[in-house]
Chain A
């Protein structure tokens, strides 16, 4: 039997054991996201407008990751709103970075894998570099947004009458903790996925100049930095949204009581 399918079955069983119904939802979410990435590949390959495709698919992936991840609709709605704002900002930043940094395509380092392949494929690899960067940060943004919104919500449930300044202070403390762990997750994830490339670069004694400027590595560093920015912005935006909406609700409540 195929090793990967065995591992997938093990994963499904573990998820059902740990998460029951929610575990099944998470598993389905992964499959849907896989399909979404697939769809994106096909649409870009058919030369649809790449900005539109990336934007639409990003929204779909975020929605799946967030709505199939947790139950509370208050938490998911706010996390979704946060992620949309942050990913929008990051997309603009990505377009700028790609325009100036030109991280697209392959280099001579890849020549072994590229042997026998046509290099004049009529598909602009600028766009693909952008897709890679945006897709890589989606998960990190969604995770950070969910974490902070859920935690702040719990604080509010315990003490509903919190003033805006003390809620803001809470969001600071919680935000700093989440920032630390989320950045670590992304950092190790990217480091792990690039281990062979890094060993290769060091082994071939690349000069420091090439380490910083070479396309393959620079692209990875930029992806990581964009992800970290995304995490930071999510925490910021989510805290602000939570405090803002909480204040509005409180004001509404006060006016309601007056009317009665």
Chain B
């Protein structure tokens, strides 16, 4: 881990942009400001002396000013490495070089995973994450290259691939895997259908797709694509738990009735749905926080913030929760039917 850290601290030669390290900081002007909402802040000017790490090894001076709240400006400290850009002969700061910390954390995770699961089992997990990332990258490229691309379609196909690959790697090619996959996909489809119907009937009242950030395509289908991917992992998690338990029941005694499988499936699902819903809820709500604070400080009232900023976060949490709850009966029915039917044909 230390060696990765050292390497990433010295990987400036890999960059095509100039990279520099701050060697001294002089803070010059202190200026107190009060904005129209009576927020007091201090703006400071920094005179940075930066040593270039790739290219020529010269020094240069860069001016930087930042507000103490650092909403959009940044304060730099001695030792910080910066990505620079040369525009018409003057250097300016593109970004803090963060790969050192992101990379070190990633390596820490991988080392701990290997220590915990030994290489044998961690390998599959890492492989599935890696394969999924590559697939995701491909889907992004397809989405961008085709101007009329249907986002929802592309990412739905991607989700099917995601689910198939992850489950294949974990469970292998078995009946258990097939049923889990079927339950996952059906649940996701039902969830999206419910969302579409409700939006259609209520004419999108109270939903503000236009508040979405970084929009480059039709926001509503982008939102659906987001939801499909977001809910997929949780539903997969849940169905595989339920299916695994029901298959355990079958191994113990394969003369059970449909109702037994149904009851058992529902009872397992009931126990895990709460915490699973919370996983996605926390992710989606946390995402909205920075903007909420900024709007609050800019004198907006709560009802406006709830309506505009947290709107899509809440919607996504609710839709995902519907998916997670729906997965329980869907999985219980599928496994119950298939398992009891199979016995009859035998």
Chain A residues within CB distance 8 Å of chain B = 1-8, 10-11, 14-15, 17-20, 22-23, 25-26, 29-30, 33-34, 37, 41, 44-45, 61, 65-66, 68-70, 93, 97, 100-110, 113-114, 117-126, 128-129, 131-133, 135-140, 142-143, 146-147, 150, 175-177, 179-193, 195-200, 202-203, 207, 209-210, 212-215, 218, 221-223, 225-226, 228-229, 232-233, 235-236
Contacts and interface: CB of A to CB of B under 8 A. Distances in A.
Contacts of B317: 30
Contacts of B321: 11, 30
Interface string B298-320: 10000000000001001111110
A123 B204 contact: no
Contacts of A193: 226, 230, 283-284, 287, 316
Interface stretch (B20-28, B45-53, B195-203, B253-261): B195-203
A136 B40 contact: no
A253 B240 CA distance: 37
Q: Which of B113, B125, B325, B328 has the most CB of A within 10 A?
A: B325
A118 B202 contact: no
Contact of A105 (B217, B286, B290): B290
B232 interface: yes
B64 to A, nearest CB: 13
A189 B280 CA distance: 6
A132 B294 contact: no
Given A18-B266, A107-B72, A6 B322 contact: no
Contact of A4 (B109, B275, B315): B315
Contacts of B270: 18-20, 22-23
Contact of A117 (B98, B225, B294): B294
A20 B99 CA distance: 48
Q: Classify the secondary structure of A's interface with B.
A: helix
A7 B274 contact: no
B79 to A, nearest CB: 9
Contacts of B328: 18
B96 A185 contact: no
A97 B230 contact: no
Contacts of A6: 198, 201-202
Interface string B89-110: 0000011111111100110110
B283 A225 contact: no
Contact of B290 (A61, A65, A128): A128
Contacts of B74: 102, 105
- A-B residue pairs, 5 tightest by C-beta: A192-B230, A188-B233, A69-B274, A2-B206, A139-B282
Contacts of A11: 318, 321-322, 325
Given A100-B101, A229-B109, A215 B95 contact: yes
A181 B237 CA distance: 5
A74 to B, nearest CB: 14
Contact of B101 (A126, A133, A202, A222): A222
Interface string B271-282: 111111111111
Given A117-B298, A229-B112, A197 B214 contact: yes
A227 to B, nearest CB: 8
Contacts of B338: none
Nearest to A215: B95
Contact of A65 (B113, B237, B275): B275
A187 B205 contact: no
Contact of A139 (B36, B280, B322): B280
Contacts of A125: 69-71, 290, 293
A120 B35 contact: yes
A34 to B, nearest CB: 8
B297 A45 contact: yes
Contact of B278 (A102, A105, A139, A150): A139
A15 B240 CA distance: 20
A198 B154 CA distance: 15
Given A135-B289, A181-B236, A210-B94, 17 more contacts: A3-B205, A14-B322, A19-B325, A101-B101, A102-B96, A105-B71, A132-B289, A136-B282, A147-B241, A199-B143, A213-B95, A213-B99, A218-B102, A221-B106, A223-B286, A226-B105, A233-B112
A195 B223 CA distance: 9
A196 B109 contact: no
B102 A14 contact: no
B16 interface: yes
Contacts of A105: 69-74, 290
A192 B228 contact: yes
B216 A225 contact: no
Contacts of B236: 181, 184-185, 188
Contact of B117 (A121, A176, A188): A176
Contact of B293 (A3, A123, A188, A232): A123
Given A2-B206, A4-B206, A222-B105, A65 B229 contact: no
Given A3-B198, A120-B33, A121-B71, A97 B229 contact: no
A156 to B, nearest CB: 16
Contact of A136 (B213, B283, B293): B283
A185 B103 CA distance: 22
B101 A7 contact: no
Nearest to A114: B72
